[in-house]
């Protein structure tokens, strides 16, 4: 075993790691999952425009939809990986930020006197999900790799 | 040779499989086969060899359609792979180390 052979083996190991990560990302960011995620955001927040007692009632079927989505993901994914604590933290922070932005936007639209403020804000939130999900998760993955290299 | 260097693991087909499994908790058989461009039988043979050494665990995912086969590194396999990669790093680093003057 020469140093060059060892370096070639290490390069191949690195390439295979990337191959696994890319397969996981390809599956997670497929149009199906991103579309359902955007639909979940749209439907759950838009339902707040409905009159009582239906105000926010869509949250319950949405929880069931999320559960089905998770089951479908686990059963179809070519590569399954438990997210690290850093990735979970980024995910929770992004969720809270999105909820705050949608709520703030809905309040602003409502104050301006426009009808269905939650529907408009939720539609904007859904578009943000479609556009931002991939970069956010790439950032979380980069953070996880950085943490892995430091440990 | 470095003490952590694992001759069994260093066979290219096995090292490739283990490197694909390392970042994941479970990996699908079909993905591994396509990633390394091998046949079902050749991959089964290598996975069986790795499982016999206790490096890999293979299971069938129950379902309504065709059952999926999944594989993962065992804690022992993960440890052996980490040690082997570290040995490779040391061997590669030896080339960069300054040689003593005679």
The correct CATH number of B7-93 out of 3.40.50.800, 1.10.10.10, 1.10.10.60, 2.60.60.20 is 1.10.10.10
- What pLDDT does B54 receive? 95
A32-49 pLDDT, tens digit per residue, is: 888 888 888 888 888 888
In a domain, A12, yes or no: no
Domain presence at residue A19: no
- Facing B24 at nearest CB: one of A4, A5, A20: A20
User: Touching check for A1 and chain B: CB below 8 Å?
Assistant: yes
Residue A113 domain boundaries: 24-150
Total number of domains constituting chain A? 1
Chain B residue with the nearest C-alpha to that of A141: B23
Residue A18 lies in a domain: no
β-pair partners for B70? B28, B59
The reply to whether A6 touches chain B by the CB within 8 Å rule is: yes
**Higher-scoring residue by pLDDT: B22, B4:** B22
Residue pair A74/A80 in contact by the 8 Å Cβ criterion: yes
Write out pLDDT tens, residues A85-110. 877 888 888 889 888 988 899 999 98
Domain membership of residue A140 (yes or no) is yes
Q: What is the pLDDT of residues B27-39, one digit of tens each?
A: 999 999 999 999 9
- Judge whether A42 lies within some domain: yes
pLDDT at A42: 86
Q: pTM for the full model? A: 0.80
Average pLDDT, chain A: 84
Q: How confident is the model at residue A151 (pLDDT cuts 50, 70, 90)?
A: very low
């Amino acid at each position: 075993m020469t140093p060059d052979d060892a370096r070639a083996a290490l390069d191949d190991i690195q390439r295979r790691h990337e191959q696994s990560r890319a397969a996981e990302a390809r599956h997670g960011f497929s149009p199906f999952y991103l579309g359902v995620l955007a639909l979940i955001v749209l439907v759950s927040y838009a339902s707040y425009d409905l009159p009582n007692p239906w105000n926010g009632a869509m949250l319950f079927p949405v929880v069931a939809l999320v559960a089905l989505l998770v089951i479908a993901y686990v059963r179809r994914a070519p590569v399954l990986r438990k997210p690290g604590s850093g990735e979970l933290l980024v995910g929770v922070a992004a969720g809270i930020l999105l909820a705050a932005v949608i709520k703030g936007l809905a309040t602003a639209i409502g104050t301006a006197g426009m009808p269905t403020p939650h529907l408009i804000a939720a539609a904007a939130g859904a578009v943000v999900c479609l556009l931002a999900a991939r970069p956010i998760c790439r950032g979380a993955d980069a953070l996880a790799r950085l943490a892995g290299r430091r440990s | 040779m470095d003490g952590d260097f694992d001759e069994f693991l260093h066979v290219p087909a096995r090292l490739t499989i283990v490197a694909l499994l390392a970042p994941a908790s479970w990996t699908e058989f079909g993905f591994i086969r396509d990633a390394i461009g091998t046949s079902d039988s050749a991959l089964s043979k290598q996975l069986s060899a790795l499982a016999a050494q206790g490096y890999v665990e293979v299971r069938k995912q129950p379902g309504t359609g065709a059952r999926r086969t999944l594989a993962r590194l065992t804690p022992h396999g993960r440890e052996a792979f980490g040690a082997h990669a570290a040995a490779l790093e040391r061997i590669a680093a030896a080339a960069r180390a300054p040689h003593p003057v005679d």
